[in-house]
Structure 1
Amino acid sequence: MNTTRRNLLIAAAATAISSGWGQVRSEAGTPVVRYNATTPEGKEMLRIYAQGVKAMRALSAADPQSWTFQWYIHATPKSKSQLLNEVFGTSGSPGRDLANETWYTCQSHLGQPEDYFLPWHRLYVAQFEEIIRTVTGHPEFTLPYWDYTSSSSYSMPEEFQDKNKNDPAFSTLFVANRNRDGGPLRSANVNAGEPLNKYFPGVRNFLVLPDMTKGDYRAFCSQLDSALHGNVHVYTGDGSNMGNVPTAAGDPIFWLHHCNIDRIWTGWNALGHKNPAETNGKNWADTRFVFASSDGRRVELSIDKISDSTNLPYRYDTLPGQVVVAQSSRAEDRLFLRSVRPGSAPGSARAGAAAGPVVLGAAPQTIKLEPTDPQNGLRDIAPRLLRGDVSRLVLVLNSVQAHVDPHTTYEVFLDLPANTSGTAADDHYVGLLNFFGATGDQGHGAHVGKSVEFDVSDVVQRLRSRGGLQEETSVTLVPVGEPAADAEPSIAGGLELRGR
């Protein structure tokens, strides 16, 4: 008997255990396995997944097991009140009450603490996974993941692509309005199987893991959310698809994306890093969210129940692998440099002047960072980083926002000399700024913005070794394409360079 067949037969013996969030283990009590979508096991799970998507789409939007109801738990494409009336009418009902409590509760796109991004989505995906088991009658089902950080999987799994849009088994996974080639995003033709990072080679590759060696949960969660997570959303489907929060969960690939985000978090824990017991002054045991269970009931869950990855009812066939390094104690967060409000007197940042806003547009924008103290020039800080006095340097963009989706991204550079572009700018490249979760969405008003962090430790060291640090520290943002006319993207809270 081949390995694939044997594993599937073992999985077929799985039994559901009522745990409040859809816990499933094998008869032996061991966690079931979530597979890479490209493996034979993962492909078999995709076949079941496609059946589940079809079954869920056939249900009324008022049914908590339906595709629409589950999509709207993440976010709604119109105002929630409007959709509640459209789906349930204006009279009260248990179904309407559950929808009102669960729809558009995704963390953290409405100003909630970003620390809840990972645990909320873990609960959300687990409930969805259990619904697929229920509607298909396949208790052995586990959600596959799309490992887009692997060079062999930069493209979306073929089951979701144009080649299978008429396939009887997989056509329900195809969505036409994913990104096409080019445009202001410099995007790939996603449905044709082109790699998401087609136009971003080498150091510009945005499909990279966050630093898995550092043990600060808040920093890890923030960088995973704003960088890799957001980039995959935007470069899979801009506008009315994955790149827009209210429509993102309407694409079946959304769930494989978030399964992989959960896998990366699990991998970070496997390196010995611990999740917090509390954040923002609130215990995780007292932080609860409401979902719809696989049988349509209201279920309220605290995030501390799923924060220990070793106790999860599932595991992953592989985890992102990096060598575990010795961890130094986290240094005190220290502000070294920051942007100054336009028009402020030189050096006013030292006196505590407010920073920002920085308005972005169709032309490159360079922002000078002023030292908060004379000894905080970047040329002075770089040797301290090498000695270990500062464990890492982080560039923080405070309150990134736009009125509507800009339909573009911005490449971020540190100390970029004037008239430098192309590969000559690679040494100065910091990362790619996307606006996923930072825009005002139709029917929901303006968002409060999000803070975006880039670890620039390696960039600073590289520039120091090559004499590339400038006398005056600056950050340059270069638009990949021309932003939408009414977007008005900005960094409302200014920029900071912090040591941690």
Structure 2
Amino acid sequence: MPQYTRNNAWNNGGTFDNPDVLWYAKGVGQMMRRALNDPTSWWFYAAIHGEYVNPATAWYPSPAAFPAWGYITSPPSVPTSPLPSPAMQELYWNQCQHGSWYFLPWHRGYLMALETQLRQDIVAQGGPETWALPYWNYFGGEAGSQFQMPPAFAAQTLPDGSPNPLYLAMRYGPDGDANIYVPTAAGEAAHPNDPKLPPVANEVTEQPALSETQFSKADPLYGFGGPDTGFSHDGGHFGRLESNPHNKVHVYVGGTPSNTALYGLMADPGTAALDPIFYLHHCNIDRLWAVWNASGNANPTAPSWLDGPAQQFAMPDPNGQPWYYTPGQMSDLGALDYHYQELLSQPAVEPALATRLVLLGAAAAAAKVASEPAAPVAPRQPELLGANRGALRIQTGGTQTLVKMDPSVRHKTEVSLARAAETAQPDSAFLKLENVRGTFDATVLQVYVQAATGAAGGDKALLADTVALFGLRRASAADGQHGGEGLTLVLDITHILDQLHLAGGLTADALQVDIVPNRPLPDGGVVEVGRVSVYRQAF
């Protein structure tokens, strides 16, 4: 039996009656008492993930303003000095891996390092030697009732009346009112008719990430864990688990209070790890990786993943010495002496292809697929179906563009869908928001697709998906790791392709794409899309 068990933060009602949460608060408080340049301090650990405290970095705001750490509203009171030596910053700070197949293993090591430091501080205060980080399973509870942030994090004081280190001023939530919840299906049902939330069909969910069977894929979808990359601090292409729920939870929990340039700390990689709820969110992401593995899915075996990138991953140990680790060392949770309270394999689901074939009128082919699942068919190289002209600036009320389709490529897709009964594997389709750049991470974009106005099936806008712009500012920095190329967001629009086909909408020359932010952008808050493109993928 593993020595350490990470338990649900909602045990005992998610209050300080949960000893895991109470000891977490005491450990965080002890780490917060140390200086910024102390490798065992809360602030140093937050900067390992990302920081806006060193003005010499490419992503530090110019002119100086929020989200620079000196402009954060307390509590907590975030220090900006003394800075550690340049060598210490180079070794430890700004390491977080995003948009990469290293996303999951890097964060697992990060959690373990922080947990080790917290445990030492907790034991020194009389706490349990087997203490482990709790997790916030926003999908958990009866009928999904744990979508709300555990109440201990909203309390301003501990049971003894002292200030609560888990309480944060700049944590606004999806409605900007400091009511912190995640819009899962249950979360949305508890907030009916909320104009700030997308339709229930695209709520924050662990699906389709857990239904993905490959850890890493090439363009256009990047698998469960993300694309094959090198060291990727400001990555722009997300795996399914990172896209949803990871990115969406960050942005919804952080939120923004009003039409201002301020937003919650969780909404930006350079401030997120200052918020104690960050680590409970990432414990749940790590738990979902463990669930995915327990369901029979394999991690990469390529040496480039097992050994990690050329720039090694390093964390300080409680003595301030570097601990180096590789993704391969993080691949087996049990071997690391850890377990989760809730760690069950996912039940088998009806093959998505069978459901799709029924919709397309190919009942016989669907029955065959359902009863005799064939080996997965490798998709062919994606083919550009169409793209819009020029970059777009997202307006508060939404922005519209036309994606003109190539007639010959469109015809191939029409034939594929019409012959679904014979081919049993009709085309898939993906929409790309390419090179999304800007300054305001606390944004969720709702993307709608329909046949161009006046065409058959063109009177109904269909929601493709919602995408969160977590990491936008850093990915847009011209002098950053990726030269300011921004984020590239991929949406699976196969379900829209099918509905347009059934309504006759694929005969249109173009698709209309509407991009609508979930909240008004503030003055000076910029979000631009370099190109909107649609790809066909045949099998």
Match of 1:431 among 465, 472, 476: 465
Could you give the per-residue CA deviations for residues 13-37 of structure 1, whole angstroms, max 9, x where no partner exists?
A: xxxxxxxxxxxxxxxx535321111
Match of 1:492 among 527, 530, 536: 530
Structural mapping, 1:54-69, within 5 Å: 54-69=29-44
Task: Measure, in 2, the Cα distance between the counterparts of 1:294 and 1:41.
Answer: 32
1:433 shift after superposition: 2.0
Q: Cα–Cα, structure 1 residues 302 and 385, in superposed 2: closer, same or farther, change >3 Å?
A: farther
Corresponding pairs, count = 437
Q: What percent of counterpart residues are identical?
A: 25
Conservation of the 8 A alpha-carbon contact between 2:441 and 2:470:
no
Conservation of the 8 A alpha-carbon contact between 2:435 and 2:485:
yes
- Counterpart for residue 100 of structure 1: 90
Task: Measure, in 1, the Cα distance between the counterparts of 2:432 and 2:32.
Answer: 41
- Counterpart for residue 514 of structure 2: 476
Structural mapping, 1:364-375, within 5 Å: 364-371=399-406, 373-375=408-410
Task: Measure, in 2, the Cα distance between the counterparts of 1:85 and 1:252.
Answer: 18
Match of 1:142 among 129, 132, 138: 132
SS in 2 for 1:439: helix
- Counterpart for residue 187 of structure 1: 175
Match of 1:87 among 82, 88, 107: 82
Do residues 285 (structure 1) and 307 (structure 2) align? yes
Conservation of the 8 A alpha-carbon contact between 1:400 and 1:451:
yes
Task: Measure, in 1, the Cα distance between the counterparts of 2:375 and 2:472.
Answer: 33
- Counterpart for residue 449 of structure 1: 486
Task: Measure, in 2, the Cα distance between the counterparts of 1:455 and 1:124.
Answer: 31
Q: Which amino acid aligns with 1:455?
A: D
Gaps spanning 5+ residues in structure 1: where?
1-28, 181-185, 343-355
Farther-moved stretch of structure 1 (146-155 vs 241-250) = 146-155
1:57 shift after superposition: 0.4
1:102 shift after superposition: 0.7
SS in 2 for 1:33: strand
CA root-mean-square deviation: 3.5
1:406 shift after superposition: 5.8
1:65 shift after superposition: 1.3
Task: Measure, in 1, the Cα distance between the counterparts of 2:245 and 2:451.
Answer: 23
Q: Which amino acid aligns with 1:115?
A: W
- Counterpart for residue 47 of structure 2: 72
Match of 1:220 among 224, 244, 256: 224
Could you give the per-residue CA deviations for residues 311-341 of structure 1, whole angstroms, max 9, x where no partner exists?
A: 3421212236532356843523432344435
Q: Cα–Cα, structure 1 residues 207 and 330, in superposed 2: closer, same or farther, change >3 Å?
A: same
SS in 1 for 2:425: coil
- Counterpart for residue 160 of structure 1: 153
Task: Measure, in 1, the Cα distance between the counterparts of 2:37 and 2:105.
Answer: 26
Task: Measure, in 1, the Cα distance between the counterparts of 2:82 and 2:13.
Answer: 37
Q: Which amino acid aligns with 1:488?
A: V
Could you give the per-residue CA deviations for residues 51-106 of structure 1, whole angstroms, max 9, x where no partner exists?
A: 110010011222211100100000012336589994247xx5xxx63333110111
Q: Which amino acid aligns with 2:343?
A: L
Task: Measure, in 1, the Cα distance between the counterparts of 2:506 and 2:424.
Answer: 19
SS in 2 for 1:217: coil
Q: Cα–Cα, structure 1 residues 258 and 85, in superposed 2: closer, same or farther, change >3 Å?
A: closer
Structural mapping, 1:266-415, within 5 Å: 266-278=290-302, 282-287=304-309, 288-319=312-343, 322-324=346-348, 328-329=375-376, 331-340=378-387, 342=389, 357-362=391-396, 363-371=398-406, 373-375=408-410, 378-383=413-418, 387-390=423-426, 392-402=428-438, 404-405=439-440, 407-415=442-450
SS in 2 for 1:171: coil
- Counterpart for residue 33 of structure 1: 5
- Counterpart for residue 102 of structure 2: 116
- Counterpart for residue 346 of structure 1: none
SS in 1 for 2:286: helix
Gaps spanning 5+ residues in structure 2: where?
58-68, 70-78, 217-222, 226-238, 256-262, 350-372
Conservation of the 8 A alpha-carbon contact between 1:212 and 1:268:
yes
1:437 shift after superposition: 0.7
Conservation of the 8 A alpha-carbon contact between 1:188 and 1:194:
no
- Counterpart for residue 262 of structure 1: 286
Q: Which amino acid aligns with 2:6?
A: R
Conservation of the 8 A alpha-carbon contact between 1:438 and 1:448:
no
Q: Cα–Cα, structure 1 residues 166 and 394, in superposed 2: closer, same or farther, change >3 Å?
A: farther
Farther-moved stretch of structure 1 (362-371 vs 145-154) = 362-371
Q: Cα–Cα, structure 1 residues 380 and 442, in superposed 2: closer, same or farther, change >3 Å?
A: closer
Task: Measure, in 2, the Cα distance between the counterparts of 1:437 and 1:156.
Answer: 22
- Counterpart for residue 358 of structure 2: none
Task: Measure, in 2, the Cα distance between the counterparts of 1:315 and 1:440.
Answer: 34
Farther-moved stretch of structure 1 (297-306 vs 462-471) = 462-471
Task: Measure, in 2, the Cα distance between the counterparts of 1:45 and 1:69.
Answer: 23
Conservation of the 8 A alpha-carbon contact between 1:223 and 1:452:
no
Conservation of the 8 A alpha-carbon contact between 2:134 and 2:280:
yes
Q: Which amino acid aligns with 1:432?
A: T
Could you give the per-residue CA deviations for residues 138-163 of structure 1, whole angstroms, max 9, x where no partner exists?
A: 32111111112342122111111147
1:226 shift after superposition: 2.4
1:304 shift after superposition: 1.1
Conservation of the 8 A alpha-carbon contact between 2:452 and 2:512:
no
Q: Cα–Cα, structure 1 residues 394 and 192, in superposed 2: closer, same or farther, change >3 Å?
A: closer
Task: Measure, in 1, the Cα distance between the counterparts of 2:34 and 2:112.
Answer: 20
Conservation of the 8 A alpha-carbon contact between 1:337 and 1:369:
no
Task: Measure, in 2, the Cα distance between the counterparts of 1:383 and 1:320.
Answer: 40
SS in 2 for 1:242: helix
